[in-house]
Amino acid sequence: MSRRVVVTGMGAVTPLGLDCESTWENLIAGKSAASTIRQFDAEGFPVRIACEVGDFDVQKFIDKRQARKMDPSTRYGVAAAIMAWKDSRMDEGDFDPDRVGVVIGSGVGGIQTLEDQHSVLMEKGPRRISPYFIPMLIADMPSGAASITLGLKGPNYATVSACASGAHAIGDAFRAVQRGEADAMVTGGTEAAVCPMSLAGFAAMKAISSRNDEPERASRPFDKERDGFVLGEGAGIVLLEELEHAKARGARIYAEVTGYGCTGDAYHMTAPAPEGEGMARAMRAALADASIDADRVDYVNAHGTSTELNDKYETTALKAVFGEHAKKLAVSSTKSMVGHLLGAAGGVELIFTALAVQNGVIPPTINYEFPDPECDLDYTPNDARELRIEHALTNSFGFGGHNAVLALRRFEG
């Protein structure tokens, strides 16, 4: 019999706040984190806006000397992991470190480190490259550094599947606890890709919005005038724990994770499969894994990137999976406020979904002004809504045709 898995700790570093509480408060208020880029001079770039993390002091979490050996993506991930660990109160009692692991995903890893060290190579030569270059660059280091910082010796690795990385990490961690390979797992996603090389690359693809004069209105999922996502950064990390293990120590439980589905499109490098066929299969797989019928789902935290094809095909996929019930679903895209955090999106959005389930509040999709006839579901436009949620899904879909869906349930007891 599969073991039940619950969320008992959460930590976040996002463009809307440096912890879960402030992020959630701003999310429910419908605030946009998008602004003109501050981290570097983006003058001359076709896109000059992003959702940046502001005023992050890494020394609140990590020794300054250690932090210098970490890419920003690792700093965000470790900080969020520390927050989730403390929030779970696992550190206040006895636990077996061999039975607690870490899986943290990242879509592009240490891209800021790569950019910085390439400049050093070109300007000063190969002998000036940092000996920490490779450890700072590789995408598994947030997971490795978190395990070192927290002293956790269970399963430890990273997932890399573009914008589905965080969700795949949580799905794998869910399976590890469910199968009895671990009693608890620190898991989620992290990303720090707001840098010149990344911004130029996404702009060249025409994947990101160019509303440079009105950044707060740029991310508009499912709106007819959407023109691309807004690049974001940050981390979302949770502690998943076996139910009886959590109950035995009197842990606070945010929500129960009940299902996980993942599929591949086998279609295109960047475009989703027509009609969202792969998305639909992932949602059906998550529902089947959770052993619930589609008409019992109350809320879907959509991938909702504010790109033309994603929003259109995700809507089609929702209709295919939920049928007539699709019209009764509450759907929202929190990327309208925090932007697209790439590999961190799945982690941050699982936190949003768990808080929505716990608090009975649907975050809004802001900037929804002009209905698109091809996107005709209830996207919770512009204002948060109170709703008791028994079952919810959170969707993550990545370049390369990677689809991951997680199912959550309200925990009673």
Clarify whether 262 is annotated catalytic: no
Residues 131, 134, 139, 145, Cα dihedral to 10°? -30
At residue 146, the 3 state secondary structure works out as helix
Clarify whether 163 is annotated catalytic: yes
> Cβ of 274: how many Cβ atoms within 10 Å?
13
In the numeric block, which tokens belong to residue 247?
A: 């109950």
At residue 100, the 3 state secondary structure works out as strand
Q: Please tell me the distance from the alpha carbon of residue 74 to that of residue 81, in angstroms, as a whole number.
A: 10
At residue 139, the 3 state secondary structure works out as coil
Q: Which of 340, 375, 391, 402 is labelled catalytic?
A: 340
Residues in the chain: 413
Q: Where are the beta strands (DSSP E) in 32-91?
A: 34-36, 49-51
Q: Which of 51, 163, 195, 375 is labelled catalytic?
A: 163
Q: Which of 20, 51, 245, 303 is labelled catalytic?
A: 303
Task: Give the sign of the dihedral formed by CA 373, CA 379, CA 385, CA 388.
Answer: positive
> Cβ of 371: how many Cβ atoms within 10 Å?
13
Element (H or E) spanning 166, and its range? helix 165-178
Clarify whether 20 is annotated catalytic: no
Give catalytic residue positions: 163, 303, 340
